[in-house]
Amino acid sequence: MKKQGTNPYLPSWEYIPDGEPYVFNDRVYVYGSHDRFNGHVYCLNDYVCWSTPVNDLADWRYEGVIYKKTDDPLNHAGNMCLYAPDITVGPDGRYYLYYVLDKMPIVSVAVCDTPAGRYKFYGYVHYADGVRLGEREGDQPQFDPGVLTEEDKTYLYTGFCAMDDKSRKGPMATVLGPNMLTILEEPVFIAPSKPYSAGSSFEGHEFFEASSIRKLGDTYYFIYSSIAMHELCYAVSKYPTKDFVYRGVIVSNNDLHIASYKPADKPMFYGGNNHGSIIEINDKWYIFYHRHTNGSNFSRQGCLEPIEVLGNDIIPQVEMTSCGPNGGALIGHGEYQAYLACNLFCRDEEMYTGALWMDSQFPKITQDGKDGDEEDGYIANMMDSATAGFKYFDCHGIRKIKIKVRGYCEGAFEVKTSWDGEVLGKIPVDFTNVWTEYAADIAIPDGIQALYFTYTGGGRASLASFTLE
């Protein structure tokens, strides 16, 4: 049977947030920063690349390290991290990687002849007089570059604006010449930060970070993370450097605003900063974004969902799912790993992962071993009321459910098809320090269903997987 597409779309031991997807030569390539499992800050690892055929969003291939943090001349000691990058094809047909080192206000560029080869340092974005962008008096610091090349011009979008920082006015657009480094048109602000948004279409969803740019027909789509952090918003314009108007939220990594299956203001995952973009693959549109794991901000994983791009530049918000890359519901039969949970919460609601750091009361997706170990993820620290939700499955004739559990726990897992729905059955569990399988006869109604597993009882359970029979 062909492998199904699931979220996260990469292996559970890989942590690639800030995903910028592109299609080159009938393959989808994703470029992002590279978190470390159990890392203490963002983006500790070198840039790597993964790719998959355009007709199979489940067949991801590791392309290897494409750029090391020490490849930048300013970072020979490796004491600065590679923050979120973006890539574009220059007029010469080569691939240009734009990035910012932490602690630096400038934009670095690397280049390669192929999409996922070994990139080499190329230079820094600079004014015609040689002064680097971000270092001239009056410049605002550069951050999170997004790039789009049209003929001999490359449009560079950058910026970081904390909520109440009046020194930051918003995201900037800068036009570069054909050498991909020299500025032709100096930075202009294309959207407001929070202190400058009164009366604008951006009120309530002002720019925070994560600039990304796409062009659909004659319209430019500026995708960004708002001051709410958990949401990826978009604004549109007929021009690349002016007249952008806010249009909406595409995805939230705690599913806020979604009212189809729960109250709009109820968080269903532990969210945090978000970064990604939209891409057309085989005539279908998708949003790439990331989720937070391990109870911290610093182990983020890439996810994707299909979206609709409607008339009048409308992209309705989509919910987080376990089956986004699959193009539809997963087969309602067989074993599924617990790290595929798209909902994770307990009775004490919390919107942001940051509040969970070193906090023991919340469940979390994690793994055994150290960074780089190819260990399957699982859900740890499930105390009474902790709930893991999985969406969606095409169910037919399910009469038994098995789960793999370990931990100091004594209680049961309730099974439901909605987060607040009827309990269809319970699977008792007991203390064990190794993964142990438990089962119960539980009938799931036929059709497309969500599945929710809620732990009730004492102690702390870990959930590795469930099997539908």
Q: State what percent of residues in the chain have pLDDT above 70.
A: 99
Q: In this predicted model, what pLDDT tens digit does every residue of 367-411 receive, in sequence order? A: 999 999 999 999 999 999 999 999 999 999 999 999 999 999 999
pLDDT at 263: 98
Catalytic residue (choose from 35, 144, 209, 350): 209
pLDDT band, very low/low/confident/very high, at 357 (cuts 50, 70, 90): low
For residue 209, indicate whether it is catalytic: yes
> In the predicted model, is pLDDT for residue 349 greater than 90?
yes
pLDDT at 359: 72
Residue-averaged pLDDT of the chain = 97
Domains and CATH numbers, the chain: 20-326 (2.115.10.20), 330-468 (2.60.120.260)
Q: In this predicted model, what pLDDT tens digit does every residue of 231-269 receive, in sequence order? A: 999 999 999 999 999 999 999 999 999 999 999 999 999
pLDDT at 333: 97
Q: In this predicted model, what pLDDT tens digit does every residue of 146-202 receive, in sequence order? A: 999 999 999 999 999 999 999 999 999 999 999 999 999 999 999 999 999 999 999
Mean pLDDT of 123-146: 98
Q: In this predicted model, what pLDDT tens digit does every residue of 39-66 receive, in sequence order? A: 999 999 999 999 999 999 999 999 999 9
pLDDT at 1: 59
Three-state secondary structure string covering the chain:
CCCCCCCCCCCCCCCCCCCEEEEECCEEEEECCCCCCCCCCCCCCCEEEEEEECCCCCCCEEEEEEECHHHCHHHCCCCCCECCCEEEECCCCCEEEEECECCCCCCEEEEECCCCCCCEEEEECECCCCCECCCCCCCCCCCCCEEEEECCEEEEEECCCCCCCCCCCCCEEEEECCCCCEEEEEEEECCCCHHHCCCCCCCCCCEEEEEEEEEECCEEEEEEEECCCCEEEEEEECCCCCCCEEEEEEEECCCCCCCCCCCCCCCCCCECCCCCEEEEECCEEEEEEEEECCCCCCCEEEEEEEECCEHHHECCCECCCCCHHHCCCEEECEEEEHHHCCEEECCCCCCEHHHHCCCCCCCEEECCCCCCCCCCCEEEEECCCCEEEEEEEEECCCCEEEEEEEECEEEEEEEECCCCCCCCEEEEECCEEEEEEEEEECCCCCEEEEEEEEEEEEECEEEEEEEEC
Catalytic residue (choose from 14, 18, 72, 414): 18
Mean pLDDT of 3-12: 98
For residue 350, indicate whether it is catalytic: no
pTM across the whole model? 0.98
